[in-house]
Amino acid sequence: MIETVTHSRPEGFFDTFERRPGPIKKNMHYCPGCGHGILQKLIAEAISDLKIKDKTIFISPVGCSVFSYYYFDCFGISVPHGRAPAVATGMARSNPDSIVISYQGDGDLGAIGFNNFIQAANRGENMCVFFVNNAIYGMTGGQMAPTTLPGQKTVTSPYGRSIANEGYPLKVSEMVAALDSPVYVERAALSTTKNIMNARKAVRKALRNTIDRKGFSMVEFLSGCPINLKLGANEMNEFINTQMMSYFPLGRLKDIADDRDPIRRPVGIYKSKKVKELLYPVSVEKCVAPDFKNKSEIFEKQRKIKLGGFGGQGVLSLGKMIATMGKLRNFNVSWLPSYGPEMRGGTANCSVIIHRKKIGSPIIDKNCNLLIVLNQPSMKKFLPELKENGVLIYDSTTIEKPDCTPDKKVYAVDASNIAKKIGSLKYANSVILGALAAVMGSNFLTPADQIDFDRTFEEAIMDCFSDKETIIKLNIEAFYAGQKAVMDSRKKNPKQASRLSKADLTMSLK
């Protein structure tokens, strides 16, 4: 007798599946009667029949969609809630030969990820979206979804969805079909055998469009979540066939794929080698050139600098200038800005780390070596973050003398007043940097290194303000004015100068 195999496991699925861990040993990840299981079988069969297993990228976000990774034997990526179309866009554009599937639930697609979804549809990305509309948040235990029907009870709408309160359910397919870019939109159902056979055709048609690079195709599947709707298998199908279908009628809402030419988008900038170079720049353990002039031990250790002030005072650019100085002498540097929603007037701070070796984290958490403060609130906030023996430089025009522990080395610089004389308060940051140069210069650097420090500052200014000649000139003026102010005050106050012994400062920057 000749045996004919009529049904076998589709190639799109793994050979064997693992059961769901938990007390019920026979359970799979999908509940009995769940629409996800039916649809995934249709997709796996199509992948198999269309021979695209090696080109398919199956993207599953949060929701019961995510369990698909237990079943599909193709490339797969699990992504954050609502973000599948964004990741799918990256995949489709960087791998134009791939068949990208964005497999999403109604909460995922219609609520948290709606903008990601609709923008991808409107851009006409070459992908298939398979949209499982079960009118509920299944995975989290049955909360109301954007597609929950009017009057439908859920755990967050115990009296039924109220149109007055929650509005009408979202008709996703109708909205997508109204856009110009998408080529194919169909609504199918995973209920009766006839509906499932139509759903099967729709899956294949959408995949075929993606293979032919026709752009954006979407199929919505009315699906059952019997566990959360607390319905038996027959009642679940009845609910889909009557209540869901009367609100979400089945049918092909758009099909213009035959009229569209295949999409060809430039992919040059997505070359994987280039992306790797950008993501993983070659790093060296010791990056400063061996002939780097400054041999001072201050450059041997990681230096952590915190800067705080108001937005608009140039706190962030001051940090950037210091980081740029490090960069210009081939140090590893990090610059991490932090500011509130209001850029001007709100508080702003940044953290700068300079190191010969690799920098692990750009965050400075309560252990900075040098604190630069340009306003009173930042003094209060950041002074506790200054390390024992740390150095504090602050704008004494606007900030009261801080109450510091004796181990701290404190430099008050009349920065705003000096800046005003130069022409604008906005040069106060460069005045402070000049003050820093003075503190560094006379204590750590040889005369030749001092000249190099000043020159690096000038180079950094030009690097940061490349096209603004007057600003460069006035910032350089402010820098030297700040430097002079500290040196003059030292001459006037030799006691302070004695506090600046090399031993002290080497300690302070440890």
Ligand X SMILES: Cc1ncc(C[n+]2csc(CCOP(=O)(O)OP(=O)(O)O)c2C)c(N)n1
Regarding 50 and contact with ligand X (CB under 6 A), the answer is: no
Give the phi and the psi of residue 59 in degrees, each rounded to 5. -105, 120
User: Can you tell me which residue has the tokens 């500290």?
Assistant: 486
Query: Which of Mg ion, ligand SF4, ligand X, none does residue 65 bind (CB under 5 to 8 Å by kind)?
Result: ligand X
Regarding 224 and contact with ligand X (CB under 6 A), the answer is: no
Q: Which is nearer to Mg ion, 195 or 228 (CB)?
A: 228
Q: What's the closest the beta carbon of residue 128 comes to ligand SF4, in angstroms?
A: 20
Q: Where are the alpha helices (DSSP H) in 373-468?
A: 376-382, 415-422, 428-444, 447-464
Tokens standing for 139? 């995975």
Regarding 107 and contact with ligand X (CB under 6 A), the answer is: yes
Regarding 108 and contact with Mg ion (CB under 5 A), the answer is: no
Regarding 106 and contact with Mg ion (CB under 5 A), the answer is: yes
Q: Which amino acid is at 164?
A: A
Out of 56, 60, 116, 134, the residue judged to bind ligand X by CB under 6 A: 134
User: Can you tell me which residue has the tokens 């110009």?
Assistant: 180
| Cα–Cα distance, 32 to 37 (Å, whole number) | 9
Q: Total residues contacting ligand SF4 (rule CB under 6 A)?
A: 12
Query: Which of Mg ion, ligand X, ligand SF4, none does residue 113 bind (CB under 5 to 8 Å by kind)?
Result: none
Give one word for 182, left, alpha or beta, with left for phi > 0 and alpha for psi -120 to 50: beta
β-bridge mates for residue 336, sequence order: 351
Regarding 225 and contact with ligand SF4 (CB under 6 A), the answer is: yes
Regarding 138 and contact with ligand SF4 (CB under 6 A), the answer is: yes
Out of 43, 47, 64, 86, the residue judged to bind ligand X by CB under 6 A: 64
| Cα–Cα distance, 107 to 109 (Å, whole number) | 6
Name the strand (E) or helix (H) holding 20: none
Q: Which is nearer to ligand X, 69 or 270 (CB)?
A: 69
Regarding 228 and contact with ligand SF4 (CB under 6 A), the answer is: yes
**Residue 255: burial class (beta carbons within 10 Å; 0-12, 13-18, 19+):** middle
CB 139 within 8 A of CB 126: no
Select from 221-229, 342-350, 445-453, 462-470 the region that touches ligand SF4 (CB under 6 A): 221-229
Regarding 222 and contact with ligand X (CB under 6 A), the answer is: no
CB 374 within 8 A of CB 310: yes
Select from 106-114, 197-205, 283-291, 449-457 the region that touches Mg ion (CB under 5 A): 106-114
CB 104 within 8 A of CB 77: no
Query: Which of Mg ion, ligand SF4, ligand X, none does residue 81 bind (CB under 5 to 8 Å by kind)?
Result: ligand X
Nearest to 113 by CA among 121, 286, 156, 423: 121
- The site string for Mg ion over 114-143 (x = CB under 5 A, - otherwise) reads --------------------x---x-----
Regarding 20 and contact with ligand X (CB under 6 A), the answer is: no
Regarding 61 and contact with Mg ion (CB under 5 A), the answer is: no
β-bridge mates for residue 335, sequence order: 352
β-bridge mates for residue 368, sequence order: 386
Q: Which is nearer to ligand SF4, 65 or 89 (CB)?
A: 65
Query: Which residue's Cβ lies closest to ligand X?
Result: 105
Regarding 252 and contact with ligand X (CB under 6 A), the answer is: no
Q: Which is nearer to ligand X, 145 or 183 (CB)?
A: 145
Helix axes 315-328, 428-444, angle to 10 degrees: 40
CB 394 within 8 A of CB 411: yes
- Contacts with ligand SF4 by CB under 6 A lie at 30-31, 34, 36, 64, 134, 138-139, 225-228
- Contacts with ligand X by CB under 6 A lie at 62-65, 81, 105-108, 112, 132, 134, 136-140, 145, 225
